[in-house]
Amino acid sequence: MTSSDPIISGGGADEAAQAKRAKFIAIAFSAACTLLALWLWLGATPLLVAFLATLAAPAIGVVLVWLSNGRLTWLDVTRKRPSLFAAAFPLLGLFGAIDNWMHIVGGGGLVAILAAVATLMAIGIAYFRKHPADDASSIGMAGLLAAVLSFGLLVIANAAFDGLQRQVYAASVLRTYELHGRGGPYYHLVVGSWADRPSSDLEVTAGLYRNTTDGAVVCAFDHTGALQMRWFYLDKCPPGVPPPKPAPLDN
């Protein structure tokens, strides 16, 4: 007597019915992940809430793959089984939302190591638990998906769980401009030096751009990062921040 999976097999359904149910679950999961990605991209969601929502997609995917008894997989290039690669969509949506205000400075060694470990674990699990429909390409793509998800989630966790580890520096706005093109417009501020950062051209949110003019002052919120990956963003200055230091005169 063999056990049947309560979600995929539906209590003794025949092979064709089980395959049809697995396909339906994969389509519904992909649609939900796509809608979540759009919500994260377009909505003004708090970072911690967005991080948890993003993490929910691969977590649910893990449960579905585990309960499917081999009928679902993360990515099967042979297309013999329904795939749940859409679990990465919310991460892409969240990246799109934060890309224009979150700037990573460096110090991502720990994040890279943790992502590499997660990737190797995913490849190992995919190899030792592989389904007959799997091939080397599917296992490789599972590793690639794990790399993208793990690195992205670690970067977001680095910011979401950073707490109050930040320094605030004022910077002068030297120039404002916007670019139009595929996926645009893109809003930019050229700001003067602050702390150890030289003058730089940075992409910002539309709200900050529309409320900033040449010669104004904005603040850089410089964060250490929960995983020691330093990052910062620009915004309006809170009360009490010292004005930016004047640029040194050329000799």
- Do residue 101 and residue 149 come from a single domain? yes
Q: What residues make up the domain containing 195?
A: 166-235
Asked whether residue 240 is domain-assigned, the answer is no
Asked whether residue 226 is domain-assigned, the answer is yes
Asked whether residue 43 is domain-assigned, the answer is yes
Q: Counting beta carbons within 10 angstroms of the beta carbon of residue 70, is it exposed (0 to 12), middle (13 to 18) or buried (19 or more)? A: middle
What pLDDT was estimated at residue 130? 58
Q: Which two tokens stand for residue 190?
A: 């050229």
What pLDDT was estimated at residue 105? 76
- Do residue 44 and residue 127 come from a single domain? yes
What pLDDT was estimated at residue 218? 94
Asked whether residue 118 is domain-assigned, the answer is yes
Q: Which amino acid type is present at position 246?
A: P
- Do residue 142 and residue 214 come from a single domain? no
Asked whether residue 3 is domain-assigned, the answer is no
Asked whether residue 246 is domain-assigned, the answer is no
Q: Is the pTM of this model over 0.85?
A: no
- Do residue 140 and residue 213 come from a single domain? no
What pLDDT was estimated at residue 219? 94
Contact at 8 Å (CB) between 226 and 161?
Answer: yes
Nearby residues of 38 by Cβ (< 8 Å), 6 or more positions away: 93
Q: Please give the C-alpha separations between residue 72 and each of 77, 116, 176, 218, 239, in angstroms, as whole numbers.
A: 13, 24, 49, 50, 54
- Do residue 29 and residue 131 come from a single domain? yes
- Do residue 102 and residue 123 come from a single domain? yes
How far is the C-alpha of 113 from the C-alpha of 111, rounded, in Å?
5
What pLDDT was estimated at residue 164? 67
- Do residue 202 and residue 187 come from a single domain? yes
Last residue of a domain, one of 125, 160, 195: 160
Asked whether residue 209 is domain-assigned, the answer is yes
Asked whether residue 241 is domain-assigned, the answer is no
- Do residue 84 and residue 192 come from a single domain? no
What pLDDT was estimated at residue 138? 62
- Do residue 182 and residue 144 come from a single domain? no
Last residue of a domain, one of 117, 140, 160: 160
Query: Based on the structure, what is the number of domains in the chain?
Result: 2
Parts of the chain with a pLDDT under 50: 1-5, 9, 133, 249-251
- Do residue 56 and residue 130 come from a single domain? yes
- Do residue 60 and residue 184 come from a single domain? no
Tell me the CATH number at 185. Answer: 2.40.50
- Do residue 78 and residue 124 come from a single domain? yes
Nearby residues of 180 by Cβ (< 8 Å), 6 or more positions away: 186
